[in-house]
Structure 1
Amino acid sequence: MSTAQPENAGAGTTPGPRILLYSDDVDARAQVRLAVGRRLRRGAPDIEWVEVATAAAVIAQTESGGLDLLILDGEADKVGGLGLARQLKDEIFRCPPTLVLTGRPQDAWLASWSNADAVVSRPLDPVELHGAVAAIVESSAVTR
């Protein structure tokens, strides 16, 4: 009985990107997942979402590694995503790229202060959000 596998076994099973999604609002997380979609493009593997509702969970997940992108809600109560993005960039070696969601377009300067790699303001435009996520994930995959 041989346990050898055919040469092409496992082909096409490339894992999709792991994206951490932080918001204390379950509806906001659902809106982001719906806007981004299952995949970054046709034929690509499914996105693996890691949903968290607390800053402590964001930090723990980020420190454990294996994430391709952090999407942080700048409007989250208690600990907003903008301050959290700055903290993560300052404290975690090789922090994954971050995308922050702001309450309005005029808050883009806060995203700059937070050292975020991208910003999308509310109301969320699915095309804009999907494009930003795809651009970050695909560019960071090239540099690895």
Structure 2
Amino acid sequence: MHLHCYSWTGTGDDRRREAERRPPLPPADPGPFLSSLLPPMRTCDWLLKPARRIDSSPATSEEALGWLAERYRTAEPSFLHPGDEARIGLDFRLDLARESLTGGVDVQWGIWLRSGRFLTCGVVCCSPNRAADYRCPVT
């Protein structure tokens, strides 16, 4: 198993465009899903997006956790509800992510930011993925 990291920041309203966030059933034309910058509804479906959407392919789970922590800290000044995030805490988030990745389970974080924006960060287990039998996007 190896890992791929993905992120997206955009308006929360954009997330309502679910047709762009769901891959079509074969043999349908993948049109809007593949070309859309929106994050998929299911974390594993990031693997269907073009390889250029991969932010990082860390060698270890610990490196993936570092990537998540960096995204979190970068967004922290813009958190819509900093008090709520402080109660959860980055350490708690990272502990849960570590446990998930160790078990081969994808990790997805979503955080509301000011001005109606939303951040999503995902670490996807690849080859194999527990939720879907997708090929690696970089092979």
Same fold (TM over 0.5): no
More helix by share: 2
TM-score range, shorter chain: under 0.3
Larger RCO of the pair (alpha carbons < 8 Å, separation 6+): 2
Query: What TM-score does the superposition give when structure 2 sets the normalisation length?
Result: 0.24
TM-score, structure 1 normalization: 0.24
